[in-house]
Structure 1
Amino acid sequence: MESGAYGAAFAGGAFDVLGFVKRPQTILRFLSWVFSIVVFATITAEGYVNPTTGDVSHCMYNKDNSACSYGVGIGILAFLACVVFIALDAYFPQISNAKDRRYIVTGDLVFSGAWTFLWFICFCVLANRWSHTTDTSLVQIDAAQAVIAFSFFSIITWGLLTYFAYSGYHQGVSDLDSGYTDPAQDQSTPYPPSYPPYPSSGPQGYQQSPFTQSEERPPGEYQPPAY
């Protein structure tokens, strides 16, 4: 995170697509986005099995439907959050107000920390239920293990996102404590002149009309023209 009250001193610059893609936060958000898709899509597609003796589907993790529902819910919310935060990261350099930047950084810190903890719970629950699953004849073992593995990977990515968010928040607090203020707007010339002043002495280079008489005749009697 840039310095200067959450990076506000560097606001207004041109958007660097290549630099944005190479940022560690962007890479981690993309990985978290992919991991969340794997978790909720796999559980939705292959997480429920139909027993041969009944029509009711059960979760592949020891028939605990709440475990599958929890994984789907966490995955979908993480998927949506990654999209939102990627958009905010792209728009972030254009925000000049330090308070608005602080709200975004604080929200990122709180959400990333919360989802790190929730992914940890998801990993523990799914791993525990899978360890107690005895009947795996109708279960896609690879799918069940993939969900557990990507839940663990999500703990790492969201934990790193929490670290970066905390670093940015701490740096911003230090800059604000140092007396940072947003740059004031220049109010000296609010309205520029619309038109240039009209010259009082007329346009330069003015020449006398060629059709004016060189000399005037004095008034007198009428003189008929000679034929």
Structure 2
Amino acid sequence: MEGQAYGAGMAGGSFDAIAFIKKPSVILRLFSLLFSIIVFGCISSPVGGYYEGQCVYNNDPNACNYGIAIGVIAFMACIVFLILEALFENLSSVQQRKMVVMADMAFSGFWTFLWFVGFCYLTNQWSKSNHPDTVNVSNPQAAIAFSFFSIGTWVSF
């Protein structure tokens, strides 16, 4: 395995989409992307995180806003890191590769922490709230579950 720097082959090779999608880091990133869509989709949908204009997480709009924010930012970060992963083979500079790997590790660690905080916050607010029979409880509970699953996908990077 000569000529490799930070887990990649020599720069300038052709792009193989099948090999790219089979990479464990890409699979985990795609799961993270899916989970982030589920979290912010469940909270921001009209029948999800809000009932009669109030956040269903104990009427705390910060809980709904936090869940939506970390979901949307995670979605955008996943897209950016998937693009960087696809372009990684074409980076010829070891310093550039090092910066991409370090940024990925730092962001993933930080975002794991934020998903953990979000899971605890949403769970705490959900346990304190009273739900009338007309409230759809599946979307808020799904957002809590997938925020927990997101911890595992982000910590794996």
Do they superpose with TM above 0.5?
A: yes
Q: Distance in 2 between matches of 1:153 and 1:40?
A: 14
Identity score, percent: 49
Partner of 1:43: 43
2:133 paired residue among 115, 137, 159: 137
What amino acid does structure 1 have at the position aligned with 2:16?
D
* Maintained 8 Å contact 2:39/2:143: yes
* Letter of the structure 2 residue corresponding to residue 68 of structure 1: C
Q: How does 1:41-190 map to 2 (within 5 A)?
A: 41-45=41-45, 46-50=48-52, 57-161=53-157
In the TM superposition, residue 119 of structure 1 has moved relative to its aligned partner by 0.2
> Are positions 1:33 and 2:33 aligned together?
yes
Residue 23 of structure 1 is matched in structure 2 by: 23
Using structure 1 for the length normalisation, give the TM-score: 0.65
User: CA separation in 2, counterparts of 1:30 and 1:23?
Assistant: 11
Segments of structure 2 that go 5 or more residues without pairing to the other structure are none
Q: State the distance in 2 between where 1:82 and 1:62 align.
A: 30
- 1:139-195 deviations in Å (ceiling 9; x for gaps): 21111110000000100000101xxxxxxxxxxxxxxxxxxxxxxxxxxxxxxxxxx
Letter of the 2:50 counterpart: Y
| Cα deviation, residue 13, structure 1 | 1.7
**Structure 1 residue 135, shift from structure 2 partner:** 2.7
Once residues 3 and 43 of structure 1 are traced to their aligned partners in structure 2, the CA distance between those partners, rounded to angstroms, is: 47
For these two proteins, the number of residue pairs brought into alignment is 154
Matches within 5 A, 1:194-205: none
Question: Is the Cα–Cα contact under 8 Å of residues 8 and 98 in structure 1 kept in the other structure?
Answer: no
Q: How far apart in 2 are the matches of 1:136 and 1:84?
A: 41
Distance change in 2, residues 1:124/1:12 (3 Å) = same
Any idea what SS the aligned residue of 1:10 has? coil
Relative to its length, the structure with more helix (as a share) is 2
> Which of the pair has more CA radius of gyration?
1
Counterpart Cα distance in 1 of 2:113 and 2:26:
21
Residues 1:106 and 1:138: Cα distance change in structure 2 (over 3 Å):
same
Query: Does the CA-based 8 Å contact 1:40-1:71 persist in structure 2?
Result: yes
Determine which structure has greater relative contact order: mean sequence separation of CA pairs < 8 Å that are 6+ residues apart, divided by chain length. Answer: 2
Checking the alignment, whether the CA contact within 8 Å between 2:9 and 2:89 is kept in structure 1 is: no
Question: Once superposed, what is the RMSD of the aligned Cα atoms?
Answer: 1.5
For 2:27, the aligned partner's letter is I
CA distance in 2, matches of 1:3, 1:121: 41
